[in-house]
Structures are given as C-alpha cells and as structure tokens.
Structure 1
Amino acid sequence: MSTSTLTIDSEQSIVHGLNIGRPRPAMKWVWILGLGGVFFEAYAGAALASGLDPLTQELGLGPVEVSLVTSTYMFVAIFVCPFAGGLSDKFGRLNVLLAAKVLALLAMVIGMTAGSFEMLIVSRVLAGVAWAMDFGALLTYISEFLSDRHQSKLNRWQGMWYVATTSNLLITYVIYQFQVGTSIWRWLLASCAVVAVVLLVSQRAVLVESPRWLASKGRYAEATVALQRMYDFSGEAQVTAADDTLATAGEAREGGQIGVLFRAPYRRRTILANVAWVAEACQYYAIGWYLPIIALTLFGESFAAATLGAAVFNVLGIVGGFAAAGLAARLRIRGAVQLGFAACAVILVVFGLTLETAPLAMSILLPSLFILFHSALAAPGGAALSALAYPSHLRGLGMGVSTTFCNIGAAGGLFLFPLLQASLGTSGAIVAMAAVPFIGFLTATVIRWDPDRSTDSRGDALPEAATTPGSTEVAEVLGR
C-alpha cells in the first residue's frame, strides 16, 4: 500500500490538509475556547445591560450619561478594529486573543470599583479596545481551522452568544436574591473578571496558533505541527513541511491596504458583509440589548420579574443560535440573512404597534420571535460572511474593517434607542428600528454573493492580485 505525501509549502496546502484530514479530539478546544471568547464578550455586554437600571440609580446618571456609558465601548472599537485586525495579521491570531483578555480583565476591575461616571467611562474605553481585539480575531481564528464542508458551522457563535446573555440574566436574578441593592452591577462586572481570567489561562495553555496564518508567513514547520495537532491523517498522508528558508511567498504577502477590500473581486462581498453586520448589530443593541428595560414595560417595575422575562426571551436565542449552522447549510449564508432580516422587520413593526394594547401572551411572543429569527438567520451572517470573504493574508484586515462596521451599528443602536424612547416612547422607538432590518434585507437581495459558492476566500484559488512572484502551487497528494 503506497503512502501519499502532503507537503506544507503554502496556505493552499493547509486548506488541502484541512479538507483531507479528520479533526482530532483536540479540535474541540478550538471550538470551546474560541467560542468562549464569544461567551465572554456577550456576557460582559449583558452584565451592563442587566445592571443598567441599578447603576443609573446608584451613580445618579442622566439620559445622555446613560447613552455614553452604554455606547462608549462600541464607539472606541470603531476606531480600534482596523488596527486590531492588522495586529492579528502581523502578530498572530492567538497573541491578539490573549492580549484582549488582559485588557478586558483590567476594564472589569476598574468598572466594578468605579465610584464616578468618569471612572466608569475609563472602564468602557478599555472594554472597547478589548472587544475590538477579541471578537474579530476569535472568529478569524476559528474559521482558519475549518474545512470547506464545515464553513457553515461558524454560525455556532450566535448560539454561544445567547447562552452567555441568558446565563448572565439568571446569575443577575440569583445575586438579586442576596439583597445587594443597587450595587448589583458591581457584582456582575466582578463575575466578568472571573470569566476573563479563566479564558486567559485556558487559551494560553491549550490553543495553538492558526496553521493558515503560520503558512501565510512562510513558517511552514510550525504550520505543519499546528495542523497535525488538530487534524489526523490516519496514515493516508504523510504531512511534511517545506524548508522555511526557501519559502518567500508568505513573508512577501503582508496584509494589504484597506482599499483592496473594496476592489474586485472583494468589493461586493465586503459591502454585503459590512451592511449585514451593521444592520444586525444595530437591531440587536437597540432591541435585544435593551430587553431588560423593555421588559419593565411588559412586567411592571419589578426588577426580578423583568430579569426573568428577559431571560425567557433569550432562551429562544439559544435555540435559534445553535440552529443557525444547519439553516445556513440549507439556505446558504446569504439566503439565511435575507430571510432573517425580512422576518425581523415585520416583527418589530407589529411588536411596536401592539406593545401597549396586545394581551400579555402576545407581548411575550413577539420579542421572543424577534430574538429567534435574529439569532437563527439574520445575526450570524454578518460575521460569517466577513470571516469567509478573504484569504488568510487579508482575513485579519477584512475582519477588522467588518467589525468596525459592526461596532458602528452597535454604537448607533445603543446610543439612539434611549433617545428614541424618550422622544417617541417605547412603542414608537421599536417601530422606528424596523427600518434597520429592512435595509439589511434589501442589501442581501441585491448583492447575490455566497461564500459557499466561492473558492478564493479559502485560499485555494486566489485572485491574481493576491498572489506574488515565487508563490508555490498546492502540492499534489502523491498516489491519489
């Protein structure tokens, strides 16, 4: 029986290795600890939302100060994300993930001990930098361990997001029973610090650097080790590394200029991914993030009842989020985004118009359906489209730019909803926000690009502009 050989001498050969290999048990830690970063970011965001009303009372914040506290970290991330994406392209995905946890821990410690509005803003600034570094890098990191047939599984991140938000709401309810009063928000931020420490230690001890990133830098020996750590070739292929000293392609292909993302063949996919991510972030942070506040309208002024009510809504997010990968595989990622935005637009109009007159059961059903369609169809697509749109030497930059647009949408939702609520009432604010998913629906309808029908985003058919003299072709697998 002849043994075939796969020589790791390019990013394309890593892609080929992912496609012919079988995931080892260690691969589960890429999912667990990678999605653990999603858990932390969602948990930290939900912690502030859950404790927002007590925080406002304790520090005596006005409407503008509340808007600044809730939106500052997203406004900061808008400016940091492109640089953070470049850092992950230059220094590696894993190094950026670890640095983000250190900053996040510092942000939580300052926040939980803050005695003034100004210190709270300092905490939110650091949280924004950590968010910018963490979120784009972690989805990039996970995507670079996936074979072609498993691309849609990246949408699992949305299910983890709602596990985190629901967990936070339930923990909020438990802490509330200990009669901590308006300081409950400090306890919630303290729990975020604990999660950050656990992730920092675990990611540093268990994870390996992305083999695709290593190969894109010409570090083929390290890329081979990382690939074999996570994938088993069962004797059907001997995986060997090319001589790093002879490799120049990866080292020559440094991250491109941002303008490259807006030229062919990337222009359409960049626009689609960015608009989808802006729209889903805006609608989530205007409606989903403020559900504990909206729930006060539905359940009265009981903090405990509103918290449990918001948790019920978010359970639908868990169901939808973990169904997202299967739905994306059936509908294709763009099709799922298109259907999800259409449903969310209709639901928000009906929810807003009937908020004050509908029976309680219907008032509970409508936000639950919004969370379900958002998490299962509309929300995962922006991140997945961004992570799958580019080859590895552009992926960090592309994700950085896309996460910037995500943060623009998130900051807009966080900042605008309290102001819309003050001027139009809760009902009018919800109806007004229906314009956001409608724009997302139109964009996904007009721009018909699907990553599961494309090859150049995987690195196995790079456009001419992305190649350099001396680039090696994918090594043929001998004996196949």
Structure 2
Amino acid sequence: MATVTIASEQDVADFIEADRPTGSRMRWVWVLGLGGVFFEAYANAALSAGLAPLTEELGLSAGEVSLLASSSMLVALVLGPVAGLLADRLGRVPMLVAAKVIALLSAVISASSSDYALLLFGRGLAGVAWAFDFAVVMAYLAEFLPTRKQSKLNRWQGIWYVATTCNLLLTVAIYQAGVGQSIWRWSLGSAGLIAAVLGVLQVFLLSESPRWLASRGRFDKAARTLRGLYGVEVIAGPARAATAPRRESSIGDIAQLLRPPYRRRTVLAVVTFYCQGLEYFAIGWYLPVISLQLFGEDFTAAALGSALFNVFGIVGGFASGVLAQRFTIRRTMLVGFALAGLVLLLLGGMFEGIPLWLAFTLPALFLLLHSGGPAPGGMSLAAAAYPSNLRALGSGITNMAGSTGGVTGSFVFPLVLDALGAGPTIMVMAVIPLTGFLTSLLIRWDPEREPHLPSDARTADSISPAPGT
C-alpha cells in the first residue's frame, strides 16, 4: 500500500474526501461522539420525565417551573459561541470530556437538592455541559466525513430519541419500586452515572480530529491519527509555508459567518435550528405533561404513553439520515416542517374531546415528522457549512440559536398553557414549523451538492458562491 504524505490542511481534507475504508477506531469516534448526544438527550429527559412529581413535591408555581425548565438552555445559549471558540483553540476532545465532568457535578447537585435555588444552580451547570458537548460534537463528527456523506450527521436525532425513551422507561421502573414523588431525584442521578462512564471512555478511546490537528500545524499527530483510523501508512512532510498555523480564533470571526459564501448558510442553519428547538421544547419535551391531560392523572400511564410516542421519534430520527442522503438535508427538513405544522393544527383544534386513538396518533405523528427532518437539519447543516477553522464556532452559534428556541419553548409553553389551555396553545405553536418551512423554502443551499470546502476560510471568502449559496 502506497504511503500518503500530508503537509497541509488541504492534504488532510483530500485524504478524508477520498472516502477510504476505516478501521475499528473509527467506530469509537461514532459511538462515543454520538454517545455524547445520547447523554445530553437523556439528561434533558431526566428533568422532563419527573417534572410533574417535582412540581408537586416542591410546590412550584408556573413561573418557577418555566424558569427551571429553561435554565439549562439559558446558560447554553450564552456559552454556545464560547464553547465553539474554546474547541477551535483547545481541540474537540478536551471539550467533550470537560462536558462530562461538569455534567456529573450537575447531576449530583440536582439529585440531592433540598430547595429550589440549589436545584436551579444544578440545572445551570447542566447548561454548561450542554454547551460544551453539543456545540462541539457535531463539528467533531463532521470532520471525519467526506462531503457527499454529510447527511450521515442526521443520525444524531435517532440517538436523541433512544436516550429519551430509555430515560422514560427507567423512570417508570424506578417509580414502580415505590420511590414516590422523589422519582425525579433518581432520574437526574442516573444521568450522572452515564456521564461518568462516557467521560472515562472518551478520555481513553476518542481520537482528536485530524482536520483540527492540521489546522494547528500538528501534522505529525494528524498523520498518527489518520494511520490509526484508516489503517493507511500516513507520514507528515515538511509543512508548506502557506499552511503555517493561523492566528487564534476570536469572537470577531463571527463576522466571517455573515459574509459570502457563508451568510445564507448561517441564516438557514440558525433560523431552522431555532425553530426546531422551540418546536421540540414546547411540544415534544412537555409530552409527559401533555400525556397526563390526554391519558389521565396517572404517572406510569403518562410516562409509558410518552415513551411510546418517542418510539416514533426513534424511527424518524434514524430515517432522517436515509431521507437526507436521498433528498438532501434541506429538502427533508422543508417537508418535515410543513407536515409537522399541519399536525399541530389538527391536534390543537381537536384537543378537547379527542378520540383516544387520535390522541395517540397525532402526537406520535408529530414526533415522527419532527425527528425525520426539522430536528437534525439545522445542526447538520451548520456542521457541514464551514471549514475546520470556523466549524466549531459556526456550530456553537447554531447551537445557541437552538438553545434560544429551547428557552423560548420551555419557558413560554407552561405560561401560555396556564392562560389558554392545551388546545389553543398547541395551535399557536403551529406558527413555529411554518417559519422553518418558509426559511427552508427561500434559502436553497444543500451541502451534499457542493464541492468540498477549502481548508482555509480566507481562501473560501475569495470563491464565488455556487447557485443557491
């Protein structure tokens, strides 16, 4: 087998674009990378599943519930760009590991909280972990994929719903053991155990991104990483002058995301991920609460009903990668937004006195459509939209938009629900997927149909955008 020499970022990009067969270590990249997505989804569901018992045990008002539910997203939306900058300076893997350490601390504090203030602080730490993890992991995974396989990033959505369902089922099992209203403590505590195991595995088994290593001029380490991942003899040649390590990333680099050829990509990713975050955290995240109204005031029945809904999220989430590969990420997202909006209008309009079969079918269909297109689309687009030196920052900005949507949905929904009732509230929320649909319709950029990005944004800025960018 011929020896490959790398001496620039472009050499590394070309190596990955060649789409060679990979070894067993690449499986760990996907397993432990997507494992971070699993954990963040599980940690979010941990509060959602026990929210009703928690509210009753601590005697929380609607405003306190809104603040608690949105607290982690509030922190994450502030720290998203910061996490991206740190990942560009320190590396992808250190940020992912740091996220698990902070998440473990958050779980311990939250599960043992004796009052609302301490619980709120614990959830704030969960937001730090979310920002460090989720803002980085999609950029990290994207850097191992050739351009034509970027649609595989949509797999993260299926993992999300697997995690949510696992938490709901575990919560029901623990509840049956007679823990009563304290079920939320067990649910949050179990997230800490997962964070600890995942963090240890990431320290020992996760490989740093070779694109990032090359962007820092560390070609020897990039070559070793590529050898381990692909089983190809790769050596580092003398670094070419044009590829000397660039200056440190800074917050000022956000301006590059708003200039051609990245401006339309940034708007598309940010708006659609904001919409899906608002849509999910207003409807999907509150399904255990909605289920109580649909199926009666029984915690086990409501949790199992919510878990069953999430099975449709699993199907849609894993199907999204296949659909995106066939139709592109943007088109799959566009159709999903349109149909999800229609389902919300039907569910809201028929909520009072809705037949049981339809009470199950419509929320299940909403999650199927949401997870199949809108949910993974924005973050997958962001991970594919930028070269390595802007990728984590761009993903951080997009994650900030999703967190903003999550804050809006989780904070506003219980207040509007309290004021208007479930049916009218769900109908009002239909404007969210409509906004996502119109954005996906008007901004036509499909990363799967672009030549692969140059390795340096300064080069990219001089390239005329392709049609639709």
Scaled to the shorter chain, the TM-score interval is: over 0.9
Instruction: Specify the code of the residue in structure 1 equivalent to 2:351.
Output: L
CA offset at residue 433 of structure 1? 0.5
CA offset at residue 22 of structure 1? 1.2
C-alpha distance 462-84 of structure 1, shift in aligned 2 (>3 A): closer
Contact 2:100/2:195, CA 8 A, preserved across alignment: yes
Instruction: Specify the code of the residue in structure 1 equivalent to 2:236.
Output: A
C-alpha distance 465-254 of structure 1, shift in aligned 2 (>3 A): farther
The equivalent of 1:475 in structure 2 is none
Within 5 Å, give how 1:215-254 maps onto structure 2: 215-233=214-232, 238-243=233-238, 249-254=243-248
In structure 1, how many angstroms separate the alpha carbons of the residues matched to 2:459 and 2:44? 42
Identity %, equivalent residues: 50
CA-to-aligned-CA distance 1:380-433 (integer Å, 9 cap, x gap): 101100100000000011111111111100110000100110111011111010
In structure 2, how many angstroms separate the alpha carbons of the residues matched to 1:333 and 1:420? 32
In structure 2, how many angstroms separate the alpha carbons of the residues matched to 1:248 and 1:139? 28
In structure 2, how many angstroms separate the alpha carbons of the residues matched to 1:461 and 1:450? 20
The equivalent of 1:286 in structure 2 is 282
In structure 1, how many angstroms separate the alpha carbons of the residues matched to 2:385 and 2:330? 12
Give TM-score, length-normalised by structure 2.
0.95
CA offset at residue 11 of structure 1? 2.0
Contact 1:216/1:253, CA 8 A, preserved across alignment: no
* Pair 1:306 & 2:305 matched: no
Unaligned runs of 5+ in 1: 468-480
Contact 1:43/1:168, CA 8 A, preserved across alignment: yes
CA offset at residue 60 of structure 1? 1.2
In structure 1, how many angstroms separate the alpha carbons of the residues matched to 2:218 and 2:458? 22
C-alpha distance 461-109 of structure 1, shift in aligned 2 (>3 A): closer
In structure 1, how many angstroms separate the alpha carbons of the residues matched to 2:140 and 2:455? 18
Contact 1:215/1:250, CA 8 A, preserved across alignment: no
Any idea what SS the aligned residue of 1:240 has? strand
* Pair 1:410 & 2:406 matched: yes
In structure 1, how many angstroms separate the alpha carbons of the residues matched to 2:61 and 2:429? 23
Instruction: Specify the code of the residue in structure 2 equivalent to 1:124.
Output: R
In structure 1, how many angstroms separate the alpha carbons of the residues matched to 2:382 and 2:161? 21
The equivalent of 1:170 in structure 2 is 169
In structure 2, how many angstroms separate the alpha carbons of the residues matched to 1:322 and 1:465? 32
The equivalent of 1:111 in structure 2 is 110
Unaligned runs of 5+ in 2: 463-469
Contact 1:18/1:231, CA 8 A, preserved across alignment: no
Instruction: Specify the code of the residue in structure 2 equivalent to 1:371.
Output: L
In structure 2, how many angstroms separate the alpha carbons of the residues matched to 1:250 and 1:123? 42
In structure 1, how many angstroms separate the alpha carbons of the residues matched to 2:365 and 2:242? 52
CA offset at residue 454 of structure 1? 1.9
CA offset at residue 18 of structure 1? 1.6
Any idea what SS the aligned residue of 1:22 has? coil
Instruction: Specify the code of the residue in structure 1 equivalent to 2:243.
Output: A
* Pair 1:324 & 2:320 matched: yes
CA offset at residue 254 of structure 1? 3.6
Give TM-score, length-normalised by structure 1.
0.93
CA-to-aligned-CA distance 1:108-161 (integer Å, 9 cap, x gap): 100011011100111011111110010011111111111233211111000000
Instruction: Specify the code of the residue in structure 2 equivalent to 1:356.
Output: E
In structure 2, how many angstroms separate the alpha carbons of the residues matched to 1:73 and 1:418? 16
**RMSD (Å) for aligned C-alpha atoms:** 1.5
The equivalent of 2:466 in structure 1 is none
Any idea what SS the aligned residue of 2:5 has? strand
The equivalent of 1:476 in structure 2 is none
In structure 1, how many angstroms separate the alpha carbons of the residues matched to 2:67 and 2:457? 43
CA-to-aligned-CA distance 1:439-471 (integer Å, 9 cap, x gap): 000000000011112235x3368663558xxxx
CA-to-aligned-CA distance 1:328-387 (integer Å, 9 cap, x gap): 011101101100100111000001111113210011000000000111111110110010
Contact 1:136/1:403, CA 8 A, preserved across alignment: yes
* Pair 1:390 & 2:390 matched: no
The equivalent of 1:295 in structure 2 is 291
* Pair 1:339 & 2:335 matched: yes
Any idea what SS the aligned residue of 2:31 has? helix
The equivalent of 1:186 in structure 2 is 185
How many residue pairs are counted as aligned between the two chains?
Answer: 459
Instruction: Specify the code of the residue in structure 1 equivalent to 2:49.
Output: S
The equivalent of 2:76 in structure 1 is 77
Any idea what SS the aligned residue of 2:234 has? strand
In structure 1, how many angstroms separate the alpha carbons of the residues matched to 2:88 and 2:117? 34
Contact 1:334/1:448, CA 8 A, preserved across alignment: yes
CA offset at residue 5 of structure 1? 4.3
CA offset at residue 274 of structure 1? 0.3
CA-to-aligned-CA distance 1:177-225 (integer Å, 9 cap, x gap): 0110111110111100100000010000101110000001110010111
Any idea what SS the aligned residue of 1:179 has? helix
Contact 1:221/1:241, CA 8 A, preserved across alignment: yes
CA offset at residue 23 of structure 1? 1.2
The equivalent of 2:59 in structure 1 is 60
